[in-house]
Structure 1
Amino acid sequence: MDPRLLQRSRGVRSSLVAGVALALVGVLLLVGQAWWLARLVDQAFAEQRLDPTVLLLAVTCVGGRAVLAWGSAVVAARAAVTVRAELREAVVAEVLDPRRLGPRPSSARVTTLLGAGLDPLDGYVGRFLPQLVVTATVPPLVVVVLLLVDPLSALIVGLTVPLVVGFLVLVGLATQDRMSARWGELSRLGRHFSDLVGGVRTLLVLGSRQERGLRVTGERHRRATMDALRSAFLSSLVLELFSTLSMAIVAVATGLRIVDGGLSLQTGLFVLLLAPEAYLPVRRLGAQFHDSEAGVAAAREALDLLDAPRHHGDRGVPASPAIVVDGVRVDRGVGAPEVVVGDAVVLPGELVAVAGPSGVGKSTLLDTLLGFVPLSAGALTLGGVPVDEVDVVAWRRRVAWVPQLPAVPAGTIGDAVLLGAGGSRDDVVQALADAGAEDLDPDRVVREDAGDLSAGERRRVAIARALLRVRAGGVDLLLLDEPTAGLDAAREQRVIETVRGLGVTTLVVAHHPAVLHAADRVLELGRVPEPVR
């Protein structure tokens, strides 16, 4: 069991506590059932009579175990539903958490988790974990009870049960890679399908090839699933075989001693009724182990997503802060060069252009100012406050940002411009005109993915939104990432003049000479050579 699941899910903790309590009660009923049934048979054969009290006690124990099994199934099913709901809520909260550091998870990954990706938790939490508790509780207690009535049978059971568990471990290790491969195939299939749905219009043109690719991916997933099922059936056969042989040893030893008179009929029957219950939980655990592998893989996927680092700063930033960069280094991950920014100061009200070759880290610098990416070394302060100590939620409310690939939500263009700022229709029209988008109708409806807008139109809508936010007040920093890409010279000049007239501290990532010449200063970033390996 992943300990992170215990920490995050109250449903799992409650399920384990309830499972232990139910298992203890079940052991008591199990011992009582075996004892009274053995007593009943002994009376019928040895004494030629039937005691109603003994019969009532035996029936009570059998009925109690039936009620207990029903209660255990109900508790386990509710726990599974609770855990799935908890993890889904946690994943949604994680995706929307503004304090999360690092890259956001892909939409395909989130869709897989929130959809069928967490369904295997039903088998893991609803069946495997309760059976795991029973397996850890019942066999040791059965051995203790057998030790009190028949030490030889207790010795046989105590030596053979660990052997069965050992085979279960070997089977688990052999199938772990196959289940991981199955989860990988499911994830890849989900990402592939999500990409196809996102490009459904292109799919109409390239349908045959994409359809063939989807069929091949689905076939790989089917083969991985069938391999896992084959391993499940074979492992169940192995566990059943060794459990049967172990029980046969107990039965032969007990029967011979009953015949020789070394063991009473009641004690022998009690041992024969109770001993199989030491192997039954292990056999059931082995049968459900493959459910657990899929559930563990799903839980690990969700928990890995939930374990992303977070901002813990809570300090406020002064109004119109000066930005001081002191040897900032950002590690963008394995295989990517490290981003290095030397010493620089951006004074309040300045328009500073960030220039340099593609991939040098210009957009990464903006991400550090927004608190999306943690620093590996160096210092970055906002009005004297280190960026990693800043309350990023409050700070981002004071930043207007136009990313390189801006998003436009579903609705009208006017609603997209008003997002996060508010204002009248006249404000929207003015902001669109200042962004060079006077040809866009504020009442025009766009789809959810804004696929009916060109890249230039989306960029202009995002610039208009940023302008409206700055004019609404409360914004101390404007961040623009290639804001004039795709604009003609006249619209580019209009955007530059509008930004210069705002009077707010502005960092703009740009390659165009017109933007570089209009800036107060140009901050040049250069690539640091990668270390030789």
Structure 2
Amino acid sequence: MASTEHGAAADWLRQQAQPVRRLLRNAISYGAAQSLLVCAIAWLVSHVLAQAIFAHAGLADLRWSILGVVALVLLRAVLLYRQRACSDAAGRAVTQNVQRSLRERLRQLGPRWSTGQSAGDLVTRLVDGVDTLAPYYAGYLPQAALAGLIPTVVLLAVGLREPWSALVLLLCAPLLPVFLILAGRAAAEASTRRWLRLRRLGARFMDAVSGLSTLRLYRAAEREHERVLAAGEGYRKDTMAVLRVAFLSALVMEFFATCSIAIVAVMVGFRLMSGHLGFAEGMFALLLAPEFFLPLRAMGTQRHARMEAVAAAEGLVDILAAPVAAPLAATPVATPKAAAPNLVLRGVHASQGDSGEVLRGIDLTVPAGSRLTLVGPSGGGKSSLLAAVMGLLPLESGDIEIDGHALQAADLPVWRAQIAWLPQRPHVFNGSLRDNLLLARPDADEVSIARVLRMASLDHVVAKLPQGLDTPLGERGLGLSGGELQRLAIARMCLRDASVLLWDEPTQHLDAATAAQIEQQLDQFARGRTVLRVAHRVRDLGPQEVVAVLVGGTIVEQGTVAQLRRPGTAFAALLQEDLRA
């Protein structure tokens, strides 16, 4: 199973290289050109030494050869710079492409998918995982090609001048790749364990930070601290295991390379002493022997980048392969009008991950400008129905119609522009209170802001804040109480001034007096708008409130509160349970 996952991740990594093939080819070409320059430099250096030692040539006689060496060295530096520029550009381009693909896939998957994921694990995959890709494309891929190309060029050059030394290099060359393959298996397993440990550590740390107040309240902070330390220690051990394998591989490869170079040096020395080899040819072979093994040794160090990229790619492939809703039909339809629309659900079926089918044959009509309240036990499908109306939960069958037009064929951004959604747990971003309000309507003026603050009974809270609307709020609303955060979300929803309102129990976290006051304001605000809301406090519903009772993803009853309060109904059972609470 692990090998199959590694294979899929490696295939995906190769696919990402397609858009940057030109940059990679340029980097490899610059590297190959450097190998030719190295051979030329080695020949000039050996020629200069031979002439200076044995022919007693002076500096004036050798000045052109020396200048040639300097020129070739400078040219090699330029080629090295160009090679690294192309490989680094390839790494950056792939990283940016993958980031765009992940953003698009996350947009397609929607918040319903992300809420089922561990935030820490997801952040680790999207940040640390993507960061591991650049070294793979900038370092490993070009080096993998050069590891076969440069030794071939060097071997041919040495073979033309000193065949016996070339034969030794050829016989010793397989030792390094064979050991690299053997060590690579253990290193790949260790790298995968390390990456999985990092994902778990990220998830645990994020959970601990998010729930720090709860942990302190229940005096469990020390226990969680110990668990995080244990997870960190496990990650440290896995990291050291990867480094041990990497260092051992480098040591063994250096040993084999050094022994091979020593064998070439011994052979050259004996042949020089016997007079069967000229000094220039022997020096040429000795100078190129390290260059023959250098790409293979560099390949060994770059293999770590490949293992990291493959391990991280498995998590990225999981995100990109997650199923998304079928694409909307491209047939043009009339754009929903800005006035309050008529909302109809016909035979809607929908499933959500491991939860299975959450909506089963929903038939529902919310006339334009009216309000319908969804009630039912926890897990009955109320929030899922709101998500389906917003287009965040894909439908398996059935239709959602807006003024007679199927939502599957409508322009979702246009439809969502008419929606104001008030979730049960609204999110507040790190920024000022004003910034969080203006998310609903960035061009809102001060008069509109003051009006919605009064509607949400938040004006007196803002007046007490040290900087008023410009008071900074921490992430998730640090600085405001739970009820104040709910009122901020209500003010933000009112500021949007949409024609369709979707509420998931807007006053659940408020005290009775404040809830009654805000309910009155919301009743006035909702007039003339199409409202679909979820209510958990059934006892607060008026006798003429139109409700639909959801049980197990199915609407079992529908009508006014006065009609459904009779004994024996599902609504009456909910009401009795609410009164006993």
Specify if TM > 0.5: yes
- The answer for the alignment partner of 1:485 in structure 2 is 508
1:217 equivalenced with 2:218 (yes/no): no
Contact 1:341–1:525 under 8 Å retained in 2: no
User: More deviation in 234-243 or 146-155?
Assistant: 146-155
User: More deviation in 55-64 or 435-444?
Assistant: 435-444
Q: 1:65 aligns with which of 76, 86, 95?
A: 76
User: More deviation in 276-285 or 68-77?
Assistant: 68-77
Q: What SS does structure 2 have at the residue aligned with 1:103?
A: helix
Structure 1 residues 327-359: Cα deviation after superposition (integer angstroms, max 9, x where no partner)? 4443422x4333233041424334233334322
Q: 1:502 aligns with which of 508, 511, 527?
A: 527
Compared with structure 1, are the counterparts of its residues 158 and 430 closer, same or farther at alpha carbon in structure 2 (3 Å cutoff)?
Answer: same
1:185 equivalenced with 2:197 (yes/no): yes
Q: 1:19 aligns with which of 8, 24, 27?
A: 27
- The answer for the alignment partner of 2:154 in structure 1 is 142
- The answer for the alignment partner of 2:378 in structure 1 is 358
User: More deviation in 92-101 or 426-435?
Assistant: 92-101
Compared with structure 1, are the counterparts of its residues 258 and 431 closer, same or farther at alpha carbon in structure 2 (3 Å cutoff)?
Answer: same
Q: 1:288 aligns with which of 302, 305, 327?
A: 302
Q: How many residues align?
A: 522
- The answer for the alignment partner of 2:242 in structure 1 is 228
How much has 1:171 moved relative to structure 2? Answer: 2.0
Q: 1:464 aligns with which of 474, 484, 491?
A: 491
How much has 1:10 moved relative to structure 2? Answer: 11
* Amino-acid identity (%): 33
Compared with structure 1, are the counterparts of its residues 521 and 296 closer, same or farther at alpha carbon in structure 2 (3 Å cutoff)?
Answer: same
Q: What SS does structure 1 have at the residue aligned with 2:533?
A: strand
How much has 1:271 moved relative to structure 2? Answer: 3.6
How much has 1:380 moved relative to structure 2? Answer: 3.8
User: More deviation in 336-345 or 247-256?
Assistant: 247-256
Q: Distance in 1 between matches of 2:371 and 2:152?
A: 74
Matches of residues 215-294 of structure 1 in structure 2 within 5 Å?
215-247=229-261, 266-294=280-308
1:526 equivalenced with 2:552 (yes/no): yes
Code of the aligned partner of 1:33: I
Q: Distance in 2 between matches of 1:516 and 1:9?
A: 63
Q: What SS does structure 2 have at the residue aligned with 1:508?
A: strand
Q: What SS does structure 2 have at the residue aligned with 1:293?
A: helix
Which TM-score applies when normalising by structure 2? Answer: 0.72
How much has 1:523 moved relative to structure 2? Answer: 5.2
How much has 1:266 moved relative to structure 2? Answer: 4.3
Q: What root-mean-square deviation, in Å, do the aligned CA atoms of Structure 1 and Structure 2 show? A: 4.5
Matches of residues 359-374 of structure 1 in structure 2 within 5 Å?
359-374=379-394
Matches of residues 337-352 of structure 1 in structure 2 within 5 Å?
337-346=356-365, 347-352=367-372
Structure 1 residues 433-481: Cα deviation after superposition (integer angstroms, max 9, x where no partner)? 65576764467446222234343433333233323433xxxx3421111
User: More deviation in 306-315 or 238-247?
Assistant: 306-315
Structure 1 segments unaligned to the other structure (5+ residues):
529-533
Structure 1 residues 10-67: Cα deviation after superposition (integer angstroms, max 9, x where no partner)? 9966752442232122011012123233434555676565761444434443454355
Q: Distance in 1 between matches of 2:292 and 2:211?
A: 56
- The answer for the alignment partner of 1:167 in structure 2 is 179
Compared with structure 1, are the counterparts of its residues 46 and 451 closer, same or farther at alpha carbon in structure 2 (3 Å cutoff)?
Answer: closer
User: More deviation in 1-10 or 416-425?
Assistant: 1-10
Compared with structure 1, are the counterparts of its residues 142 and 491 closer, same or farther at alpha carbon in structure 2 (3 Å cutoff)?
Answer: same
Q: What SS does structure 1 have at the residue aligned with 2:355?
A: coil
User: More deviation in 227-236 or 370-379?
Assistant: 370-379
Compared with structure 1, are the counterparts of its residues 300 and 343 closer, same or farther at alpha carbon in structure 2 (3 Å cutoff)?
Answer: closer
Code of the aligned partner of 1:132: A
Q: Distance in 2 between matches of 1:462 and 1:442?
A: 18
Q: Distance in 2 between matches of 1:492 and 1:217?
A: 44
User: More deviation in 130-139 or 142-151?
Assistant: 142-151
Q: What SS does structure 2 have at the residue aligned with 1:349?
A: coil
- The answer for the alignment partner of 2:478 in structure 1 is 451
Code of the aligned partner of 1:65: R
Contact 1:399–1:477 under 8 Å retained in 2: yes
How much has 1:238 moved relative to structure 2? Answer: 2.2
User: More deviation in 60-69 or 220-229?
Assistant: 60-69
Which TM-score applies when normalising by structure 1? Answer: 0.78
Contact 2:17–2:94 under 8 Å retained in 1: no
Compared with structure 1, are the counterparts of its residues 330 and 10 closer, same or farther at alpha carbon in structure 2 (3 Å cutoff)?
Answer: same
1:103 equivalenced with 2:113 (yes/no): yes
Structure 2 segments unaligned to the other structure (5+ residues):
1-8, 466-470, 555-581
